[in-house]
Amino acid sequence: MHVFVAVLNWGLGHATRSIPVINQLLQRQVEVTIGSDGAALHLLKQEFPNLRFVELPAHEVIYPAHGSLMLNLMVQLPQLQKTIRQEYQQVQELIRQLNITHIISDNRYGCYSETIPSVIITHQLRLLFSGIWNVAAVVINSTLRNALKKFNTIWVPDFRESGITEPFTKNVKLPHRFVGMLSRFSKPTTKPNDNLILGLVSGPENQRTLFEQNLLAQLMRLNQPAVIVRGLTQAADERIQNGVELINHLPASELQTLITNASVIIARSGYSTIMDLYCLGKRNAILIPTPGQTEQEYLGQYLKEKKIAIVQNQEQMDIAKALELVHGCSGFETSTNNNLLKEALDELLI
């Protein structure tokens, strides 16, 4: 049995949530080959240095500093479709060369096969739109459904249909199952440092850099212990700038220790980040959605309405004010169901 795990390089969230899937495969003594590109590929090589890796075509999407994200993505769509066709052709050749028997794809829509079982990990069974883009929702979601139908089933990282992914999954007539929150972290046993603030910066450029620059400028004014993990996997240097420690990247175990020790987490409201915060049961979180990314904006609004976390727009980001309010939030309550992923793998690997 030989499983090909294909991971999207769009921020680091897809790579980090693939780690528990790969670990469970290895525990079953299944042969695993990993395919990705860029920072995600680099991170997974660090986590699994003894596995075989394949570089897949890069999904080179640029987030605009200003203007419409959706319009920008529409302009880039032909190139994305070309990349999906390229990765499909590459995967068919890999199946022949390496005797691949199963495919698990995290949001790589070209990584499937008509001849072997293929599943895709995503919570986006439909896309959310706002404003004038609502008129395009029917066409775009129809295109998405056709892409998802090429897989045998969909694994949704959530516990139930009425969970945080409900707007993305409810009443969608596609075969899918819930596999629980996928996180590389485990529930901590120690209590956090009361003073440490931790910023987690990741995601596509150039919004990643804009977020980091704004966050660094504000943390330097606080006169409080602070660390920023920059989400840059290609280098390991560290430096201190006006009292704020900047770390490019950390292995999973060291990052978990740092997150556990931090009293307050400042991060994007990306779905993988939210899964990590749930897994670690973090009480105090300040979330900043990527501007124009509808999904992160929805997730941020959901957590804000539930009073789980403080959520601010990047343009009006005020960390000092958020720190005054964050202790009034309920935080992320740890909830786990490890059997959901196990059962999904049992079904796939029959």
Q: Are residues 159 and 210 in the same domain?
A: no
The H or E element containing residue 210 is: helix 207-219
- By DSSP bridging, strand 176-178 and strand 153-156 are parallel
Classify each residue of 39-63 as buried b or exposed e, where b means 16 or more C-beta atoms within 10 Å of its C-beta.
bbbbbbeebbeeeeebebbebebeb
Give every CB contact of residue 284 below 8 A, 6+ residues apart in sequence. 263, 264, 265, 326, 327, 329, 331
Residue 113: per-residue pLDDT: 96
Residue 134: per-residue pLDDT: 61
Residue 223: per-residue pLDDT: 85
Asked if 233 contacts 163 with a C-beta cutoff of 8 angstroms, the reply is no
Q: Which domain holds residue 265?
A: 197-328
Domain membership flag for residue 255: yes
What is the CATH classification number for the domain harbouring 16?
3.40.50.2000
From the list 256, 252, 286, the residue with the least C-alpha distance to 269 is 286
Domain membership flag for residue 186: no
CA torsion, points 6, 184, 225, 222, in degrees to nearest 10?
A: 60
Binned at pLDDT 50, 70 and 90, residue 325 comes out as very high
Q: Are residues 175 and 203 in the same domain?
A: no
Report the C-alpha gap between 348 and 335 in whole angstroms. Answer: 25
Q: Are residues 104 and 252 in the same domain?
A: no
pLDDT one-digit tens code per residue, 253-281: 888 899 999 999 999 998 889 989 988 88
Residue 202: per-residue pLDDT: 82
From the list 168, 73, 188, the residue with the least C-alpha distance to 124 is 168
Overall domain count for the chain: 2
The H or E element containing residue 205 is: none
Domain membership flag for residue 189: no
Q: Are residues 52 and 177 in the same domain?
A: yes
Residue 53: per-residue pLDDT: 98
Q: Are residues 172 and 292 in the same domain?
A: no
Q: Are residues 65 and 141 in the same domain?
A: yes
Domain membership flag for residue 192: no
pLDDT one-digit tens code per residue, 42-89: 999 999 999 999 999 987 655 555 555 555 566 667 778 888 999 999
pLDDT one-digit tens code per residue, 184-217: 887 777 777 778 999 999 877 788 889 999 999 9
Residue 72: per-residue pLDDT: 59
Q: Are residues 237 and 295 in the same domain?
A: yes
Give the residue with greater pLDDT, 31 vs 240: 31
Q: What would the two tokens of residue 152 be?
A: 């045998």
Q: Are residues 130 and 257 in the same domain?
A: no
pLDDT one-digit tens code per residue, 77-136: 777 888 899 999 999 999 999 999 999 999 999 999 999 999 999 988 987 766 666 666
Per DSSP (E only), the strands in the chain are 2-7, 31-36, 52-55, 102-106, 118-121, 153-156, 176-178, 197-200, 226-229, 238-241, 244-247, 264-267, 285-287, 310-311
Domain membership flag for residue 235: yes
Residue 238: per-residue pLDDT: 73
Q: Are residues 286 and 255 in the same domain?
A: yes
Residue 150: per-residue pLDDT: 96
Q: What would the two tokens of residue 149 be?
A: 């139908």
Q: Are residues 22 and 64 in the same domain?
A: yes
Residue 127: per-residue pLDDT: 78
Classify each residue of 323-341 as buried b or exposed e, where b means 16 or more C-beta atoms within 10 Å of its C-beta.
beebeebebbeeeeeeebb
Q: Are residues 91 and 56 in the same domain?
A: yes
Q: What would the two tokens of residue 322 be?
A: 């958020």
Give the residue with greater pLDDT, 28 vs 61: 28
Asked if 4 contacts 35 with a C-beta cutoff of 8 angstroms, the reply is yes
Residue 10: per-residue pLDDT: 81
Mean pLDDT of all residues in the chain? 88
Q: Are residues 130 and 203 in the same domain?
A: no
